[in-house]
Amino acid sequence: MGSLSLRNIRKAFGAHEVLKGIDLDVTDGEFVIFVGPSGCGKSTLLRVIAGLEDATTGSIRIDGQEVATVPPAKRGIAMVFQSYALYPHLTVKDNMGLGLKQAGAPREDIERRVTKASSMLSLEPYLARRPAELSGGQRQRVAIGRAIVREPKLFLFDEPLSNLDAALRVQTRLEIAKLHRELKATMIYVTHDQVEAMTLADKIVVLSAGAIEQVGSPMELYNRPANLFVAGFIGSPQMNFIEAARLGDGGARTIGIRPEHIALSRESGEWQGKVIHVEHLGADTIVYMETEKTGLLTVRLFGEHPIAADDVVHATPDRAFLHRFDADGRAMR
């Protein structure tokens, strides 16, 4: 019902190539998230899939059908934008059903689909209201409901939570996850927030400078990053990178160790250093320290710890979790 296949997708704006030969397969019912830094091409790729931008070259197949030259309205997709894009003069009910009405769907069919979508999203009390009478989270749910009523082959989300505050982002994230389980629909979602990516995705696509760096499940990317870029992008706080030569490892160029895979002690350990800053977050304590062997080192401790700037401590990495990278930045397995 909602498979997607991309082959050699390139997109250039003048002399600037934004997408550089993207190959990707999305299976029916998968929740796939595109992540990467600003300007990496993730939103452009989503717009190419939607037909809002034309690919310079390449093939786009939805359920095996080539759609590269098919207009957006006939691709069987529905898109949810970060700006909601609701009509201010229409009620919630009319906003949700407008696309079906324009397509000539029977009134009973529109009523049935809007009722079902509003029930899934707990929007029944707001159907007679206009967007100005709703909160940001409610408006986003209306935009999602408008997509649901179309019963598309693909749902496309372009940073849908970026305009919401932290608490609403968490709540709406849970609603989207629940929606995916209930609809069993194929969803492709763009975000710069790796927490969204790690918690929602079946499969994450990490992009950099218009190219795919790695595709895999959240834990695959976290535990087995393909290169320095992915290792540094996935995980917060960021992975520590140390020159391998400083640690006596002649086979690698760079050694990586995640902050949570380092133990701290006041008595003894592998790398002695001085604490330069501490972030007491309650559930976590983030310690930034400087050691002669490693340079700046970030350590994540679970829970509260009585550590302060200028304390002298000893850090010991769990060697089972060391990552080794070659001179080209590729992971050495």
Integer CA distances (angstroms), 174 to 5, 78, 266, in order: 28, 20, 41
The residues, any chain, with a CB within 8 Å of residue 314's CB and separated by 6 or more, are: 264, 265, 266, 267, 268, 269, 270, 271, 272, 273
Q: What is the pLDDT of residue 270?
A: 94
Report residue 244 CA to chain centroid gap.
Answer: 31
Integer CA distances (angstroms), 149 to 119, 142, 209, 310, in order: 12, 11, 35, 59
| Amino acid at position 318, single letter | D
The residues, any chain, with a CB within 8 Å of residue 146's CB and separated by 6 or more, are: 78, 86, 95, 96, 98, 99
DSSP 206-266: EEETTEEEEEE-HHHHHHS-SBHHHHHHSSSSPPEEEEGGGGT-SS-SEEEE-GGGEEEES
- What span, in angstroms and rounded, lies between the C-alpha atoms of 240 and 6? 34
Q: What are the structural domains, with CATH classification, of the chain? A: 4-226 (3.40.50.300), 237-325 (2.40.50.140)
- What span, in angstroms and rounded, lies between the C-alpha atoms of 159 and 291? 39
Lookup: tokens for 163? 């305009």
The torsion region of residue 266 among left (phi > 0), alpha (psi -120 to 50) and beta comes to alpha
CB atoms within 10 A of CB 25: 14
Lookup: tokens for 254? 């760079």
Q: What is the pLDDT of residue 328?
A: 96
- DSSP assigned state of 159: S
Q: What is the pLDDT of residue 168?
A: 82
Task: Report which of 237, 224, 157, 223 is spatially closest to residue 194, judged by C-alpha positions.
Answer: 237
Lookup: tokens for 231? 């290792």
CB atoms within 10 A of CB 285: 19
Q: What is the pLDDT of residue 103?
A: 83
- What span, in angstroms and rounded, lies between the C-alpha atoms of 171 and 325? 38
**Which residues of the chain are modeled with pLDDT < 50?**
none
- What span, in angstroms and rounded, lies between the C-alpha atoms of 257 and 26? 31
Query: Could you tell me the pTM of the whole model?
Result: 0.91
Question: Please, are residues 96 and 142 in contact by the beta-carbon 8 Å criterion?
Answer: yes
- What span, in angstroms and rounded, lies between the C-alpha atoms of 23 and 5? 8
